[in-house]
């Protein structure tokens, strides 16, 4: 362009325009440079105004907010439960790092920025996974009373009908799984893509069998035949009992989706039959033979007839106490006649229940247990220590529950506590001299 041919007044205007454009460009580029290290106006991070603040200034302001992860769990009744995992409580030097947000902002638009509310998803500081466990001890999922175990769909008996009960999802989750999930969530924060919410709903233990599983096809109809048959128990030549309908189905149950005799109900049935006909004609009902016969006949798909055997004396019994299973077993002729949950002693709290091979030394009813700080009445006492007076099996009316892990926190004083209905049968079956074996 030949500036000599341009009139002076136009030339001056052109120079002014060019100078204005250059100044605007310098200002605009200066703004881009400025907002490369400062946050844009109208910027809020975690609800804190960081407009025109540097990264260092912003990180300092964000110290007012503690990084956290809300762990979402499933309650016992299906409701949502939230436990907050505060990262700064775990490591006090953990702080938010807003560098990802600064680098990601649209600094080219610094002249006309829109108001934006951002969440910082990056942290900085020291971190060790090993500390997570100590900070989740009060979480909902760790409290046993809050949990429902997942249950597979299963065959069951209801109102004399064989049905397929659907699975129960439950809300049980392994502690290690939670620790690993929280660890992954924290590491995501360090990588700059963390989330303040960790949903554990997909990490819960799930049932492996559902109601529509092909393995159930046709089974309910097949097993229904077992409930529609009759089992005739010939007690004597002129007396019998017929088990059918509810009286039959009550003696049955499903284990691993296979029909079998209900051991507890069968034990009570045989005991009732035994006590009704005890000492008929100076002979005894062969309990173990009847137990074996009924155990085989009850799940059968066809009608069965059982003849009760009468013997001159009962078979010698044997009692076995398993401490770790907190269960007592009574056998006759190697046939399991009775099983019962128990509460034993615990040497770390009270007296240990003696281990080894013993014999019943003393049996009594309407007795009192006495010690320095207690006096308790029991209906049945079966003593097995050498004196027959110190350690024994007995009822414990002061307990509502037996078995499982009760002995770890609320043990007996060394004796074996049993439910009254169980020791009633054992007391009638066992005799002085019956062998007792106690083991872990």
pLDDT exceeds 70 at position 279? no
**What band does 296 get if pLDDT is binned at 50, 70 and 90?**
very high
- Shared-domain flag, residues 66 and 176: yes
CATH of the domain at 431: 2.40.440.10
**What band does 6 get if pLDDT is binned at 50, 70 and 90?**
low
pLDDT exceeds 60 at position 102? yes
> What tens digit of pLDDT does each residue of 339-367 get?
999 999 999 999 999 999 999 999 999 99
In the chain, the N- to C-terminal Cα span, in Å, equals 106
> What tens digit of pLDDT does each residue of 217-250 get?
999 999 999 999 999 999 988 889 999 999 999 9
CA distance 436 to 363: 13
Helical spans, DSSP H, in 207-332 = 219-228, 246-249, 263-276, 287-297
- Shared-domain flag, residues 114 and 199: yes
CA distance 407 to 417: 10
> What tens digit of pLDDT does each residue of 29-83 get?
887 888 889 999 999 999 999 999 999 999 999 988 889 999 999 998 889 999 9
> What tens digit of pLDDT does each residue of 151-177 get?
999 999 999 999 999 999 989 999 999
- Shared-domain flag, residues 253 and 365: no
Total tally of structural domains belonging to the chain: 4
pLDDT exceeds 70 at position 267? yes
Helical spans, DSSP H, in 94-252 = 99-104, 175-191, 219-228, 246-249
Instruction: At 228, list the tokens.
Output: 């529609």
pLDDT exceeds 70 at position 5? no
Instruction: At 151, list the tokens.
Output: 């249950």
> What tens digit of pLDDT does each residue of 368-417 get?
988 777 788 999 999 999 999 999 999 999 999 999 999 999 999 999 99
Cβ atoms within 10 A of the Cβ of 259, count?
20
The answer to whether 425 and 326 are in contact (CB under 8 A) is: no
Residue 209 located in a structural domain:
no
pTM of the model: 0.73
The pairing of strands 335-341 and 327-332 is antiparallel
Q: What is the mean pLDDT of residues 264-271?
A: 96
Q: Provide the pLDDT for residue 179.
A: 94
What DSSP state is assigned to residue 309?
A: P
- Shared-domain flag, residues 30 and 49: no
Given 251, 284, 314, the domain boundary residue is 314
Render the burial of 396-429: b for 16+ CB within 10 Å, e for the rest.
beeeeebeeebbeeebbbbbbbbbeebbbbbbeb
Q: Provide the pLDDT for residue 25.
A: 78
User: In this predicted model, which residue has the larger pLDDT, 296 or 8?
Assistant: 296
- Shared-domain flag, residues 177 and 71: yes
CA distance 274 to 263: 16
Residue 309 located in a structural domain:
yes
**What band does 13 get if pLDDT is binned at 50, 70 and 90?**
confident
CATH of the domain at 222: 3.10.20.800
- Shared-domain flag, residues 61 and 26: no
pLDDT exceeds 80 at position 11? no
Give CA 213 to chain center in angstroms.
24
Q: What is the mean pLDDT of residues 291-308?
A: 95
- Shared-domain flag, residues 230 and 363: no
The answer to whether 355 and 334 are in contact (CB under 8 A) is: no
CA distance 323 to 326: 5
- Shared-domain flag, residues 76 and 95: yes
**What band does 312 get if pLDDT is binned at 50, 70 and 90?**
confident
CA distance 84 to 68: 7
Average per-residue pLDDT in the chain? Answer: 91
Q: What is the mean pLDDT of residues 284-310?
A: 94
- Token pair 């949990």 is found at 147
pLDDT exceeds 60 at position 2? no
Given 275, 299, 314, the domain boundary residue is 314
Instruction: At 278, list the tokens.
Output: 């005890």
**Domain range for residue 241?**
218-314
**What band does 294 get if pLDDT is binned at 50, 70 and 90?**
very high
- Shared-domain flag, residues 194 and 296: no
Residue 232 located in a structural domain:
yes
- Shared-domain flag, residues 257 and 189: no
∠ CA 27-33-35, nearest 5°, is 100
> What tens digit of pLDDT does each residue of 171-211 get?
999 999 999 999 999 999 999 999 999 999 889 999 999 99
Residue 160 located in a structural domain:
no
SS3 (DSSP) at 218: coil
CA distance 109 to 143: 52
> Percentages helix, strand, coil for the chain, rounded to the nearest 5?
35, 30, 40
Q: What is the mean pLDDT of residues 320-333?
A: 97
The answer to whether 290 and 305 are in contact (CB under 8 A) is: no
- Shared-domain flag, residues 324 and 426: yes
CB half-sphere exposure, 129, CA atoms < 13 A: 11
**What band does 280 get if pLDDT is binned at 50, 70 and 90?**
low
pLDDT exceeds 90 at position 8? no
Strands (E), 192-261: 197-199, 231-236, 239-243, 252-255, 258-261
Residue 406 located in a structural domain:
yes
């Amino acid at each position: 362009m030949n500036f000599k041919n341009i009139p002076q007044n136009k030339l001056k205007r052109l120079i002014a325009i060019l100078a204005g454009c250059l100044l605007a460009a310098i200002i605009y580029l200066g703004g881009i440079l400025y907002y490369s290290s400062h946050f844009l106006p109208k910027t809020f991070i975690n609800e804190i105004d960081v407009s025109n603040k540097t990264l260092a200034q912003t990180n300092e302001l964000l110290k007012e907010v503690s990084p956290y992860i809300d762990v979402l769990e499933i309650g016992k009744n299906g409701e949502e439960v939230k436990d907050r995992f505060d990262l700064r409580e775990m490591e006090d030097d953990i702080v938010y790092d807003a560098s990802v947000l600064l680098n990601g902002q649209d600094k080219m638009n610094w002249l006309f920025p829109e108001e934006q509310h951002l969440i910082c998803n990056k942290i900085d500081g020291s971190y060790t996974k090993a500390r997570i466990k100590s900070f989740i001890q009060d979480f909902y999922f760790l409290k046993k009373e809050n949990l429902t175990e997942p249950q597979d769909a299963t065959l069951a008996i209801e109102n004399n009908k064989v049905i397929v009960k659907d699975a129960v999802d439950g809300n049980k989750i392994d502690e290690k799984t939670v620790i690993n999930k929280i660890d992954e969530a924290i590491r995501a924060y360090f990588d700059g893509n963390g989330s303040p919410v960790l949903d554990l709903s997909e990490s819960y233990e799930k049932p492996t069998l559902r109601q529509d599983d092909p393995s159930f096809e046709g089974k309910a109809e097949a097993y229904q035949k077992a409930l529609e048959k009759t089992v005739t128990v010939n007690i004597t030549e002129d007396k019998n009992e017929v088990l059918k309908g509810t009286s039959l189905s009550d003696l049955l149950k499903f284990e691993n989706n296979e029909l079998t005799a209900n051991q507890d109900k069968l034990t009570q049935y045989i005991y009732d039959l035994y006590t009704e006909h005890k000492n008929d004609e100076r002979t005894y009902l062969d309990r173990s033979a009847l137990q074996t016969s009924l155990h085989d006949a009850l799940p059968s798909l066809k009608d069965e007839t059982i003849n009760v055997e009468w013997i001159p004396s009962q078979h010698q019994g044997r009692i076995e106490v398993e401490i770790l299973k907190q269960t007592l077993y009574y056998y006759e002729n190697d046939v399991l006649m009775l099983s019962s949950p128990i509460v034993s002693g615990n040497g770390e709290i009270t007296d240990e229940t003696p281990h080894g091979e013993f014999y019943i030394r003393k049996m009594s009813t309407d007795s009192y247990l006495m010690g320095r700080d207690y006096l308790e009445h029991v209906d049945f006492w079966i003593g097995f220590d050498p004196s027959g007076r110190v350690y024994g099996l007995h009822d414990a009316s002061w307990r509502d529950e037996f078995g499982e892990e009760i002995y770890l926190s609320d043990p007996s004083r060394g004796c074996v506590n049993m439910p009254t209905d169980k020791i009633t049968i054992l007391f009638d079956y066992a005799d002085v001299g019956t062998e007792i074996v106690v083991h872990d």
